Structure 1
Amino acid sequence: MKSLGITGNIGSGKSYVLDFLSKKFIKTYDLDKIAKNIYKEDELVKQEILQIFPDVTSKEKEIDTKILGKLVFNDDEMLHSLKKIIWPRIETFIQDKKNSNQNEFIAFEGAVIIDARWHKMFDYIWIIDTNIEISKKRVLNSRDISEIDFMNIINNQMKLKEMQILLENENCKYSIIENNSNIDELNTKVEKELNQIRL
């Protein structure tokens, strides 16, 4: 069984790449969605978060991730506290899915795969890289997010060079897939990388 971690900054197209793989009958997991499920379903996580962030619940008494996101992206200490709560749960999820997977191939997508040091859990890493202006245009046109919020998120995410240095220092197998053109070109690049892994 081979495992793949797909990462990249906001608006890079990493979720599209994950969906592309799922259509190839590859087992895939979106770690952002997994995190949201943990916020919603794990009562211990809720308690830990509300001890630090008491004002982040919605009318339905659920963790409001939009409010939580705005709080932590403006406060490094709060962001670190949140990571200490949620990241170990996601790491456990990844390991559990890898251990139970019966397929030839499994893929996970998440913006913080390298930042969280989860890259060590995968056989291969794909970094989806996109020009920041293209990313911004995509995000502002498709999501309920302001330009200020977009820039706050980008500034809190690892830069491509930082990712490369870390992966190379740890002898990780990785590829950079540029996504600055059209869908057909991206599909071709992903198909090529997928074939390389399957060799």
Structure 2
Amino acid sequence: MDSFLFSLLLVFALALGGRDQWLVARWADALGRGWPLLLLGILSACLTAAVMAWVGAEFAAMLPARAAQMLVAFALAIAGFELAWPVKLKEPREPTRSLGAIAIVLVARQIGDGARFAIFAFAAQASLSATAALGGALGGGAAIAMGWSLGAAGLVRLPLRTVRRVLAVCLILAAIFIGLNARYAAP
């Protein structure tokens, strides 16, 4: 249950101001706030959460306990650095109306973002990785729904850059402490 709740809350927080949220917000402005776009964004969040949870659980199962802890530390560090990296998106010249193309772009943006690496880390540490996947899918879907409903003009008014930088520092510090614990803890 802990991995579900932590994954839900952390993924939602990490996805705030993310590239996928901005893309959905811009597509919602350009194409209208139709249900297919929202459902596609939520489905993409579910798919990428499931993939990253599965990969995290599989990697952790192959490693000894201390190495799995170090894997979690690396995943959180990657997530932190991804959050610290500024989000700069180009305005689409011509928005596509193809749901398939939108799905491919969303999955590609989400699979390597900080929120999905957090799912990876939670699944690597959870006794049941499906709870981390479910929490991550709900948190990611909620962030997508927020971007869809607010649009780009609504997201601009929020202090998302500051939130992302604070979360980046917190994740990097967590990665350092988890890594030190894995390195120097008694076997």
Q: Which has the higher contact order (CA 8 A, sep 6+)?
A: 2
- Which structure is higher in strand share? 1
Same structural fold, with TM-score higher than 0.5 when normalized by the shorter chain: no
